[in-house]
Chain A
Amino acid sequence: MNQKYMIYMYLLKARTFIALLLVIAFFSVMVPNFLTASNLLIMTQHVAITGLLAIGMTLVILTGGIDLSVGAVAGICGMVAGALLTNGLPLWNGDILFFNVPEVILCVAIFGVLVGLVNGAVITRFGVAPFICTLGMMYVARGSALLFNDGSTYPNLNGMEALGNTGFATLGSGTLLGVYLPIWLMIGFLVLGYWLTTKTPLGRYIYAIGGNESAARLAGVPIVKAKIFVYAFSGLCAAFVGLIVASQLQTAHPMTGNMFEMDAIGATVLGGTALAGGRGRVTGSIIGAFVIVFLADGMVMMGVSDFWQMVIKGVVIVTAVVVDQFQQKLQSKVILMRRHEEKLAALPPNGATSS
């Protein structure tokens, strides 16, 4: 009886991974060329975009918050990169400062962190609900991205030899050991996110805040600092997504990242992170991102119409939460049963009849 429950429990815990295996198995049968190394690499390169956002989003959601601004922040970060590469940075005395590519990337990363810091500061210092604050930031960032070049794109971000800012394409399409750089970035952020959430005191704080904020405060957890950190981290992830997309397309488009936040939240939820906070893993979110993107790309390869793709994506996300709720119920049931058994075992054999 108990054994059976335990097997269900393990299956449910690994559900995102099982879903991923099912997706891969299904498309491997249905679509020739799906299970080739080059296709898996291309798809993983697509995963990197959703995955990076999902890593930042996971940390935010673990604290019980949400960051709706990531897509728009990615958009504006792409525009900042585009402006720095195309027009440079005008200084007060009429000079124009041009950066080389690593410096541009650094500037944009700092910009993303700053936007995240503003989110975190408004949420913690002024008590604005994360949903509202980041919704506002979403509009501000999108509007600003459009204002940047009057709604136009910055095309041909190849840089100029004379200005020493060539090579921006490497970030999005370059490879290291045969694997695209965005994938390495995702792996880097995954390791960083995993280490932060599981090996550091900050990680414990993040889980504690999401689990029970009042209790965490009473226990002396630095809530403000931890929260500001997660939004800044999410901003950093968004900045890299903006850079990657702009680099891949060689174009900074102000509407880049529209609805990306929804894919990131979808991936996070698919990966078993509870929207209420306190429960979830970064690794789960990455697997969630794999499921969403492999599903989308597989359907494109199969030739499924775009309208159906949306329907199927929605169904998958909601099903994931239904299964998650089921797991929660089962888990509390198993815990209760185990307590009951422990209690029975602890009682002297003859005392058991007294109740």
Chain B
Amino acid sequence: MKKIIALFLALVCVACVLASCGTSADTVTLYVYNWGEYISDGSEGSLDVNAEFEKYCAENERIKQLTGGKKVKVNYSTYASNEDLYAKLESNTVSYDVVVPSDYMVARLAKEGLIQKIDVSKIENYQYIRNEFKGLYYDENNEYSVPYTYGTVGIIYDTNKVSVKDAEEQSWALMWNENYKGDILQFNNPRDAFGTAMFYLGIDVNSENEQDWINAQRILKSQKEVVQGYVMDEVFNKMESGSAAVAPYYAGDFLSMYEDNNDLAFYYPKEGTNVFVDAMCVPASAKSPELAVEYINFMLSEQIAIANAEAICYASPNKLVYENTDYIAEMSEIHENAMEILYGYDDSKMAYFYDLPDAARKTMNDLWEELKIENDKGVAIYIIGGVIIAAVAVIAIIVFISKKKKAKAY
């Protein structure tokens, strides 16, 4: 037995040494940090974009010069919200080469010097970016970011569970409807969650007035009673399996879910909703910024951009995708109104989230924290009942034990 263990350990150690040899000296690693489910990753027969990039690097002369002929390896990892990304970049204990924050986060990261300038004139495929997506509010001079995808928030609902009448109203009110208690999901991040409430109440989502945020929080609190959970990408599973009936999420993700569950439907709330652009940026702490720019350029090339757009189903700011007939056919196959949903929305009802001033952001975060840590009273009663039983049981045991102790002492 001892010998077996020793042998096993020896083997593992040899494996360690071998593993570390294989990856260190002759490769350059590019660290990409992106949203979850936000790239064509080779699953279900799609194109594996990161592997393609590794291949492309091996063949491209310019990149070979850049890396000195070393192999390029992409280290791809994911986050669930802009705030996660911000916390990671700000903590300064990890470094990434390419990140994909949303508009308001681009503005904030640029303002705080956490991302560096990119020379877009060096990105040959930048010419294919549609003009509407150049010089947007968060990066007016196109210095920091290159658009990756854009999208909108709407309400996804299960036609088996939500009545036609409620759905026809096309309102945010569906998320507060008592009939669907325990079947409603809400965003698990303050900006989007407050967004739903503020659009519903008709408040400016970029308000700097504290009272507006307090009002929004009030109805979020009232919503807690009917909400099943606060989720981000868990929403896919929940909606596809029919575990929830109503969820606000991104239009592109609705299409992904619809592929797996045809009972789902989608609408843009009549009160207005959020439009956003997710853009590729290079963090200030990047170790291979030049290679990062090559990666960004690669992501804009036709075949890759289409593969991504088809895999993640978000709208693309890239002309090569938007005008491609194969792509249009492919999307229409997923859902007959796919192009309409992604690209044909009413601009006048859409609002961008701006980077809030520090005071307003603090207000929002504090109110969110308060919302998260507050527990509804119904629960309290439920629990206190249980606790009394628990306490009695525990005390009984303790008393019993100490009695025994005393008995022993005599």
Tell me whether A and B are bound partners. Answer: no
Which A residues lie at the B interface, using CB under 8 A? none
Q: Which residues of B contact A (CB under 8 A)?
A: none
